[in-house]
Amino acid sequence: MNQEDLLVNVAETLTFKQYEELSAKTAIYPEVGTGSLRAVEYCALGLAGEAGEVAGKVKKLMRDGDSPEKRMKIIAELGDTLWYIPQLLRELAKAPFGECALANIFKLAGRQERGTLHGDGDDR
């Protein structure tokens, strides 16, 4: 099995918990793992910065035209964005990534059942 096939195979079965554990091994930032305000701020700012990079690359698609190469660069930035989510969850309350994801699905399903997916506000 070549490296690309191995990556695809692993990616198809990677769990939130596994991603959380693997990404934590590469976490190097001020007060990592302490839950301190400084660690929370670092992760939140990193997440916002990476999301901004995604938005900037999408904006350039609009301005300069679309291409598979440009889309792959956006996917790479999304990976960087994804990395910050479990780190921020860990710093906030050691909240498991999978629990956060599932809670969000339940929240959205409830909104869908009530017909409130459209609109704005946290308490729909």
Q: Across residues 63-76, what is the average pLDDT? A: 96
**Looking at the domain that runs over 14-97, which CATH code has it been given?**
1.10.287
**What pLDDT digit, counting tens, does each position of 2-21 carry?**
767 767 777 788 999 999 99
Mean pLDDT of 72-100: 95
Distance between CA atoms of 87 and 42, rounded to whole angstroms? 10
The pLDDT tens digits of the residues spanning 31-41 come to 999 999 999 99
Spell out the domain ranges in the chain. 14-97
Question: How many other C-beta atoms can be found within 10 angstroms of the C-beta atom of residue 113?
Answer: 9
- Any idea which residue has 């990592």 for tokens? 32
Q: What is the mean pLDDT of residues 68-82?
A: 96
- Say how far residue 101 (Cα) sits from the centre of its chain: 10
pLDDT value of position 68: 96
Give dist(CA 55, CA 3) in Å, integer: 30
Going by C-alpha positions, the residue among 124, 118, 49 that lies closest to residue 83 is 49
**Is 92:40 a contact under the CB 8 Å cutoff?**
yes
Q: How many residues does the chain have?
A: 124
